[in-house]
Amino acid sequence: MGERDETARFDRKGLMREAYRMEGVGESEARSIFLDWALSLPDDTEQPMALRAMWAHYGKGAPEHPMSVVLKAAMEQRAEPKRRGGWRGRRS
**pLDDT value of position 2:** 60
Range of the domain at 16: 3-79
Whether 34 is in a domain gets the answer yes
Look at 5 and 21; give whichever has higher pLDDT. 21
DSSP 1: -
- What CA–CA distance (Å, rounded) separates 65 from 73? 13
Whether 86 is in a domain gets the answer no
Whether 91 is in a domain gets the answer no
Task: Give the predicted TM-score (pTM) of the model.
Answer: 0.77
- What CA–CA distance (Å, rounded) separates 72 from 49? 13
3-state SS assignment for residue 65: coil
Whether 85 is in a domain gets the answer no
CB atoms within 10 A of CB 56: 13
3-state SS assignment for residue 9: helix
Whether 90 is in a domain gets the answer no
Whether 25 is in a domain gets the answer yes
Whether 89 is in a domain gets the answer no
Whether 84 is in a domain gets the answer no
Give the range among 3-7, 13-17, 63-67 with minimum mean pLDDT: 3-7
* Four-residue CA torsion sign, 4, 42, 75, 73: positive
Tally of domains in the chain: 1
